Amino acid sequence: AAPIAADAAIVVDSVAAPTIKIVDWPITWTPERERLALEYRRVHSDPNAQDLTIVPQVVVLHYTAGDSAKGTKGYFDNTTIEPSRKQLYAGGKVNVSSHFLVDRDGTIYRLMPETKMARHCIGLNHNGIGVENVGDENKTKLTDAQVAANVALVRYLVAQHPTITHLLGHYEVMRFTQDPLFQELDPQFRNDKPDPGVRFMRLVRAGLTDLPLIGLRVDDKSR
């Protein structure tokens, strides 16, 4: 059966991957948010950017560290990031966001078009598709259903966007800063994240061994 989502959500079948269901659940996107996002892009990756269009080359997997898809969506709906997140706020006022959100039962929500820039990962916003997973690897451990959903979603994205060459966990990105795909004009603007964890990345990658995706594939036991 098709997953049940919030009001006005639309379930669509993927042509490239007929077994995947994606629920469109767009985050609030105002003209002010558009302006702030473009300002962020000009400061951090492309001073001459005229819009927020991206060519996806990387898929970055995350976790929310919360237990509610609705709560995450509600947070992403905010136009600006809260000043209490001092480092991120200093880097730009536009709120964080991601392209997809995977609930604990494996439901995949599309929050925004994957060819539009989201603020989800320092250095890879200009070419990265962000996938958030509800939960963490401690109190609310990511589920097998989420592993399967991420595998299916990555397959769908690679089929839709042949330009995608890399799959990374957010925790791996700070070891990726010397790669030409990483673009951050402020050399001091960095953050080291633990998500979505080594275990989750290992399981997702195990389901994608037939795809020629580049990743660090380093089992860092300290994370």
pLDDT tens-digit readout, 167-191 = 999 999 999 999 999 999 999 999 9
User: Does the pLDDT value for residue 130 go beyond 80?
Assistant: yes
- Tokens 């320092």 appear where? 122
Residue 11's pLDDT is 38
- Give kind and range of the element (H or E) at residue 20: none
Query: Which residues on adjacent β-strands are paired with residue 166?
Result: 58, 214
- pTM higher than 0.85: yes
Q: Above 80 in pLDDT, residue 97?
A: yes
**Digit-coded pLDDT (tens) for 9-54:** 333 333 344 479 999 999 999 999 999 999 999 999 999 999 999 9
State the pLDDT at residue 19.
Answer: 72
Residue 213 φ then ψ, to 5°: -90, 140
**Alpha carbon of 122 to those of 14, 77, 153, 172: distances in Å?**
29, 20, 22, 12
Task: Using the structure block, give the residue that is written with the tokens 């985050």.
Answer: 27
Residue found under tokens 């633990």: 194
The percentage of the chain sitting over the pLDDT mark of 90, rounded to a whole number, equals 84
Q: pLDDT band at 83, cuts 50/70/90?
A: very high
